[in-house]
Amino acid sequence: MLAMIGRRLAAALPSIAGVVVVTFLLTRLLPGDPAAYFAGPAATPQAIEEIRQRLGLDQSVPAQFLTYLGDLARGEFGLSLTTGLPVMQELVTRLPASLELTLAGLLFAVAVAVPLGILAAVRAGSWIDHATRIVATAGVSLPTFFTGLLLVHVFYSVLQVAPAPMGRLDIFSSTPPPVTGLYVLDALLAGDGETALAALAQLALPALTLGIFALAPLARMTRAAMLAALGSEFVRAARASGLSRGRIVWVYAFRNAMLPVLTTLGMVFSFLLGANVLVEKVFAWPGIGSYAIEALIVSDYAPVQGFVLTMALLYVLLNLAIDILYGIVDPRVKVES
Amino acid sequence: MAAVQAYARHLRHVVTENPVTGAAFALFLLLVLTAILGPALVPFDPLQSDASRTLHPPSARHWFGTDQLGRDVFSRVVVATRLDMTIAFASVLLVFVTGTLTGVAAGHFGGWVDRLTGRIADTIMAFPLFVLAMGIVAALGNSIGNIVLATAVVNFPLYVRVARAEANVRRDAGFVEAARVSGNSEARVVLFHILPNTLPIMMVQVSLTLGYAILNAAGLSFIGLGVRPPTPEWGIMVADGANYIQSGEWWVALFPGLALMLAVFCFNLLGDGLRDLIDPRRRT
C-alpha cells in the first residue's frame, strides 16, 4: 500500500514540475516591465529600479528561475500590494474557506448524482432516465455565477429563508475555535450547535450552486458505467445463479461501475475548483478565489500567481488521492504494479 | 451539384433523426441570425443611457426592463450575442486548427513529437482549466484577444488527444499504405488522407466545446477580465445585475443569464446529437 502511494507520488512529480514552470513563465509573459507592474502605478523610477533588484529581474532568466524555486521552497509567494501582507499567509488563512465550499459542493453532487445515475441505469428508458438526462444537460449548461444569483434571488430576496449572501458567518455568530478551519466542523467539535447551524445556513446556497454544476458529468458517467456493468457477462452469470436483485446491483454492478466514475472525479474537480472562483465572488465567500479576483482588479500580480499555483498543486494532490482511491477500489491495479 | 444534394440529405438526416437535435439546430440558427442581424433590429441603442428610466422593471416599452443607467436590457442582450458568439467561435476555430494538426502529427509520427505534445497537454491538464485561463489573461493582459487565446489553450489537450487517437489508428491502415505506395509524400498522406478522416469526430468535439468556450469567456468577464463596460456582453451584464439582485431588481441579471444559458444548452444538445450520430459508442 505505502509503496503504491510512493509510486503514485513519483508519477505526480512531472505534473508538479510542469505547474511550477508554467506559473514562472506566466510572470515572464507580463506585458511591459514586471518591476513596474509589481511596484504599482504610483511608483517612481527609483522605486522601480529598487524593486527590479529586489525581485532579481536584473539577472538572467535561468538564474531567476532558480531564485523562484528557492522562494517557493521557503513558501515565499511575495507580498500583496494592496494589503501589504505576505501572499502565503493570506492564502493559508483563506484556503479552508475554499476547501469547505468545494468539499460541501462535491458531497452534495455525489449524494445526488450517484443514486440518480444508478436509478437511471436500472430503469433505463423510464421517466427517471429521461429526467436524469435533462437535469444533467441543463446542469452543465448553467453558468455557475448565474445559478448562484438565481438561488440568492429565490431563497434570500423572495422566500427569505436563506441568510444574506455575505460570507461564511452572519455578524451575530462568533468564529468557532479553529481546528480544521472548516466552520461547520469546528463548531460541531466545539459542541456549539447554534454556530454550526448558522455556518451551515451560509454554506448551503453556495455549496448547492457548485454541486449543481458538478452533478451533470457525475450522473451521466454513473449511468453509463452502471449500464455497461449491468449488461456484462458476470452480471448475467450472477443473475443466472439466482442472486438477489439488490446484491447484483450493489455488489456486482456498482463496485465495477465506480471505477469510471472515480476517473470522472478528476475532471469534476477541475470544474469545481474553477467554478469555486465564480461562486466565491457571488456569495462574497472569503476564500482564495475572491482574494485572487480582488487582486486581479487592481493588477496586483503576486496574489494571482500564488493563487494559480495553489489551485494547481491542490488539483494535482486531489488527482493523486483519486489515483490512490482507485487502487483501493480496484485490486487489479495493485496486482499489476 | 450531386454533392450538394447528398450533403443536404445528410444534414436533413442529422436534424430530423432526433427531435431534440432538430430543436437545438433551430435554436442555433436563431442565435446565428441574432448575432448577424441583432444590432440592426434592436429598438434602442444598447449604449444609450437615460437617467430618467433607471432600473425600470420589464414593460411593453422595455421588454427586459432597464439597467442602472437606464439602458434597455433587451437591446443589450440581443446586441451582445454577436460578441459572445464571436469569442466562442474564434477560440474554438483557433484550437480546432492548432489542436487537430498537432494531434494528427503526434499520432502519425509518434516519437519525440508525440512525447512533446503529450507533455504539453498533460501540463495544461494539471491545472483546473478556468484557473489557468484566469492566469493566462492576467499575465498576457486584459483584452478580448487574450480571452480567445486563453479559452483555446485550456481546450487544447482535448483536441490533441482525440485527433492523436484518430490518426494513430489509421497510421498503417490499408488506404494509407495504398496512398504511400502510389508515391504520395508523407506530408501529403497526412494532410489529404489521414486528416480528412479525423474531421467528423473533430466536428463533434467542436460543437461539444463551443458551449464550454462561451461559459469560460462569460465567466472571465464576470470576474472583470476581458470585455470592459459599457460593451454589452452577457457575462459582464450578469455581473452588473448581481449588484441589484439583493434589492429585488432581478431583471438586470436574469435576461443576459438566460441568454447565456440558452446558448450553452443549445451547443451541448447539438454536440450530444452529433456525437450520437457519428460515434454511437460514446453515447452516455
pLDDT tens-digit profile of B193-226?
Answer: 888 888 888 887 887 788 888 888 888 888 888 7
pLDDT by residue (tens digit) across B2-26?
Answer: 667 776 777 677 667 667 777 888 8
Phi, psi values for residue B260, rounded to 5°: -60, -50
Taking residues A224-237, report their average pLDDT.
Answer: 84
Per-residue exposure over A33-45, b if at least 16 CB sit within 10 Å of its own CB, e if not: ebbbbbbeeebee
Task: Say what the pLDDT of residue A67 is.
Answer: 81
Query: What is the amino acid identity at position B184?
Result: N
Residue B151's pLDDT band (boundaries 50, 70, 90)? very high
Q: Give the gap in angstroms from C-alpha A177 to the nearest C-alpha of chain B.
A: 31
Residue B102's pLDDT band, with cuts at 50, 70 and 90, is: very high
Which domains does chain B possess? 2-282 (1.10.3720.10)
CA distance A313 to B86: 33
* Geometric angle at alpha carbon B198, from B197 and B200, rounded to 5°: 90
Query: A134 φ, ψ to 5°?
Result: -65, -45
Q: A14: how many CB neighbours lie within 10 A of its CB?
A: 13
pLDDT mean over B15-39: 80
Q: Please give the backbone phi and psi of residue A86, each rounded to the nearest 5 degrees, phi first.
A: -60, 140
d(CA A23, CA A29): 10
**Which string of b and e fits A192-231 if b means at least 16 CB within 10 Å?**
beebbebbebbbbbbbbbbbbbbbbbbbbbbbbbbbbbbe
What's phi and psi for B162, nearest 5 deg? Answer: -65, -45
CA end-to-end distance (rounded Å), chain A: 11
What residues of B are in contact with residue A274 (Cβ under 8 Å)? 128-131, 219
**pLDDT single digits (tens) A50-88:** 777 776 667 777 888 888 888 888 877 777 777 778 888
Task: Tell me the sheet residues that pair with B66.
Answer: B72
Residue B153 — pLDDT band, cuts 50, 70, 90?
very high
Over residues A253-302, the pLDDT tens digits come to 888 888 888 888 888 888 888 888 888 888 888 888 888 888 877 777 77
Q: Please tell me the distance in Å from A247's CA to the nearest CA on chain B.
A: 24
CB A43 within 8 A of CB A36: yes
Position B93 confidence tier, pLDDT thresholds 50, 70, 90: very high
**Confidence check: pLDDT of B113 > 50:** yes
Question: What does the pLDDT look like over A202-218, one tens digit per residue?
Answer: 888 899 888 888 888 88
* Residue in A with minimal Cα distance to B135: A308
**Contact yes or no for A143 and B219 at CB 8 A:** yes
Provide the percentage of residues in chain B whose pLDDT is more than 70: 92
The verdict on B18 touching A (C-beta cutoff 8 Å) is: no
Q: How far is A140 from chain B (nearest CA, A)?
A: 8
Residues 70-99 of chain A whose Cβ lies under 8 A from any Cβ of chain B: none
Please judge whether A308 and B261 are an interchain contact, meaning their C-beta atoms are less than 8 angstroms apart: no
Q: Is the pLDDT of residue A251 over 60?
A: yes
Say yes or no to pLDDT of B91 above 90: yes
All residues of chain A having their beta carbon less than 8 Å from the beta carbon of residue B135 are 23, 26, 304-305, 308
Say what the pLDDT of residue A55 is. Answer: 67
DSSP state of A142: S
- Partner A contacted by B128 (CB < 8 A): yes
Residues in Cβ contact with B127 at an 8 Å cutoff, skipping those fewer than 6 apart: A19, A22, A270, A308, A311, A312, A315, B135, B154
Question: Looking at this predicted complex, what is its ipTM?
Answer: 0.82
Q: Which of B125, B261, B268 sits opposite A146 (nearest CB)?
A: B261
Of B231 and A177, the one with more pLDDT: B231
Confidence of residue A333 (pLDDT cuts 50, 70, 90): low
Q: What's the confidence (pLDDT) of residue A32?
A: 58
Considering chain A, what is the average pLDDT of its residues?
Answer: 80
DSSP state of B172: T
CA distances from B274 to B25, B54, B202, B204 (A): 10, 44, 11, 6
Please state the length of chain A. 337
Q: What is the pLDDT of residues B249-282, one digit of tens each?
A: 777 788 888 888 889 888 888 877 777 777 655 5
Chain B contact for A278 (CB, 8 A cutoff): yes
Q: What is the pLDDT of residues A95-114, one digit of tens each?
A: 888 888 898 999 999 999 88
List the beta bridge partners of residue A86.
Answer: A79
The pLDDT, as a whole number, for residue B90 is 94
Report all structural domains of chain A as residue ranges with CATH numbers, in order of start.
Answer: 94-287 (1.10.3720)
User: A150 vs B136: CB contact, 8 Å cut-off?
Assistant: no
Any idea which residue has 478565489 for its cell? A289
d(CA A246, CA A243): 8
Q: Mean pLDDT across the stretch A218-234? A: 85
CA dihedral A64, A68, A73, A75 (to 10 degrees): 150
pLDDT at B150 (0 to 100): 92
- Sorted by sequence, the CB contacts under 8 Å of residue B228 that are 6+ apart come out as B142, B236
Residue A337 is predicted with a pLDDT of 47
All residues of chain A having their beta carbon less than 8 Å from the beta carbon of residue B119 are 14, 18
| A-contacting residues in B 191-210 (Cβ below 8 Å) | none
